Chain A
Amino acid sequence: MGSKLKVATCSLAGCFGCHMSLLDIDERLLDLLEVVEFDRSPINDIKTIEGMVDLGLVEGGLCNAENVHVLKHFREHCRILVAVGECAITGGIPSMRNHHTLKECLEETYIRGVGVENAHIPNDAEIPLLLDKVRPLHEVVKIDHYLPGCPPSADAFWYFLTELIAGRDPSLPLQLLRYD
């Protein structure tokens, strides 16, 4: 057990599609678990990373203060940090809100939204503060590798992880490189 690589994963401003695609490697998960063990991840519901892990896979971009906090926690605790999927790499679909002001977005949803009753913008201390703009990960922390795709296919995940674990350059070959 001690020799297994430790892997942590999280989803920030994403849709969990990248995590679903990772699970889509199907029975190859068993082969993967021969060489890695999961630390913090929605897969096992561990909430924080204790000590250092070898590999961090981060899905989603940054849309609120908690996303930034989690990303910095991952950077501090992961030897290799990977931006997984379009949202992590470019901001992706959530960043479409960047063409409007935050005020416009909140009012459209909570004031003028269809069927809204008791219209007001939520302002509870428990709710993470939204960032002015959605940003990709590399604008805030150093990213070591990028795994593009929306989501990256199961084969892209498998290729990337097996190459990285083998100590080789995990850049995707042409047939696995997709942005959609």
Chain B
Amino acid sequence: MCPDSAKTFYLDNREIPFKEGQTVFDAAMTAGAYIPHLCHNPDYEPHSSCRLCTVIVNGRPFASCTQPAVAGQMVQSDTPELREMRRMLTQMLFVEGNHYCPSCEKSGNCKLQATAYELGLQDNHFPQFFPKRERDASHPDILLDRDRCILCGLCVRVSRDIDKKNVFAMTGRGIHTVIVVDSPSGELKDSKATAQDEAVQHCPVGALLLKGKGFEVPIGERIYDKASISVHSVEAFQAREAVHG
């Protein structure tokens, strides 16, 4: 076995060091190489459902957020084929939901929107679905707008693993999959959810919002007005690494 410090793999022909047990995604971000992602938040267990972070490892596709780094492996991420696949996945997320960026409180702070900017999306290519989805505005502090949900499952994981409340779950299959709330009425107001819950803080889109906070930050000063998501997420990841190691 070689010492940890000597372990590296190659990402787009760039040598990336990694620690034992690190994923391809974590090692790449630590080294400052951005890999697009939506369902993954480095603070929580990876889910590998959005497939945006797919990379080619030794010729085969893997979700980099769950793929362990192995010394000497050849990984491709920034290729024309993978860029096109990520663009198409993101376009499908837009047409499957109801994403009205001009009137959304999350605009400018939304990871879906910022990722689409990063990928250079100027159109949605596919026909719009305009699905009919239920909105839950019953809770005094929290809005659940399923129109904007991309089914990343982050609220489900965080409510279960961190808040220990199991407020959210997914039900249905395929295109009929929706987020549901654990309460006698099925409404948020009758659930254990509070504005302080971690699960409410990390929605990448505007599906879960704290009420009374919309448009609090003026246009021009929102997260992705100031830095692209590639720059912002690498900086945030590295700052987190510096604290937690």
Taking Cβ atoms with an 8 Å cutoff, the residues of A that contact B are 83, 86, 89-93, 95-96, 98-99, 133, 135-136, 138-139, 143, 145-148, 150, 171-172, 174, 177-180
Q: Confirm or deny: B98 has a beta carbon within 8 angstroms of a beta carbon on chain A.
A: yes
Interface size class of B (residues with CB under 8 A): 20 to 34
**Closest Cβ of chain B: how far from A83's Cβ, in Å?**
7
Secondary structure dominating the interface of B: loop
The 5 closest A-B pairs by CB, nearest first: A150-B102, A179-B101, A146-B123, A146-B122, A98-B130
Q: Is the CB of A174 within 8 A of B117?
A: yes
Q: Is the CB of A174 within 8 A of B228?
A: yes
Contact A91 to B128, CB < 8 A, known contacts A138-B123, A179-B113, A180-B107: yes
Q: Is the CB of A143 within 8 A of B100?
A: no
**Closest Cβ of chain A: how far from B229's Cβ, in Å?**
10
Q: Is the CB of B128 within 8 A of A95?
A: yes
* Neighbouring A residues of B127 by C-beta, 8 Å: 139
Secondary structure dominating the interface of A: mixed
Q: Is the CB of A83 within 8 A of B102?
A: no
* Neighbouring A residues of B194 by C-beta, 8 Å: none
CA distance A171 to B128 in the complex (A): 22
Taking Cβ atoms with an 8 Å cutoff, the residues of B that contact A are 94, 98-104, 107-108, 113, 116-118, 120, 122-125, 127-128, 130, 132, 219, 228
Q: Is the CB of B103 within 8 A of A93?
A: yes
* Neighbouring B residues of A174 by C-beta, 8 Å: 117-118, 120, 228
CA distance A145 to B122 in the complex (A): 8
* Neighbouring B residues of A98 by C-beta, 8 Å: 130
Contact A179 to B130, CB < 8 A, known contacts A86-B102, A89-B123: no
Nearest-CB residue, chain A, relative to B98: A99
Contact A86 to B120, CB < 8 A, known contacts A99-B130, A179-B107: no
Q: Which of B113, B118, B128 contacts A136 (CB 8 A)?
A: B128
**Closest Cβ of chain A: how far from B60's Cβ, in Å?**
31
Q: Is the CB of A179 within 8 A of B116?
A: yes
CA distance A83 to B124 in the complex (A): 12
Q: Is the CB of A93 within 8 A of B102?
A: yes
CA distance A99 to B131 in the complex (A): 8
CA distance A11 to B198 in the complex (A): 44
Q: Which of B100, B116, B120 contacts A96 (CB 8 A)?
A: B100
Q: Is the CB of A86 within 8 A of B101?
A: yes
Contact A135 to B128, CB < 8 A, known contacts A174-B228, A177-B122, A180-B107: yes
Most buried by B among A136, A143, A180: A180
Name 28 interchain pairs, CB-CB below 8 A, sorted by A. A86-B101, A89-B124, A90-B124, A91-B128, A92-B100, A93-B100, A93-B102, A95-B128, A95-B130, A96-B100, A98-B130, A99-B98, A99-B132, A135-B128, A136-B128, A138-B125, A139-B127, A148-B123, A172-B120, A172-B122, A174-B120, A174-B228, A177-B117, A179-B102, A179-B113, A179-B116, A180-B101, A180-B108
Q: Is the CB of A150 within 8 A of B101?
A: yes
Instruction: List 11 additional A-B contacts (Cβ < 8 Å) besides A93-B100, A145-B122, A148-B122.
Output: A89-B122, A92-B100, A93-B103, A96-B100, A143-B123, A148-B123, A177-B120, A177-B122, A179-B113, A180-B107, A180-B108
Nearest-CB residue, chain A, relative to B130: A98
Q: Is the CB of A92 within 8 A of B130?
A: no
Nearest-CB residue, chain B, relative to A160: B122
CA distance A93 to B118 in the complex (A): 24
* Neighbouring A residues of B228 by C-beta, 8 Å: 174
Most buried by B among A83, A90, A136, A139: A90
CA distance A116 to B217 in the complex (A): 39
**Closest Cβ of chain A: how far from B227's Cβ, in Å?**
10
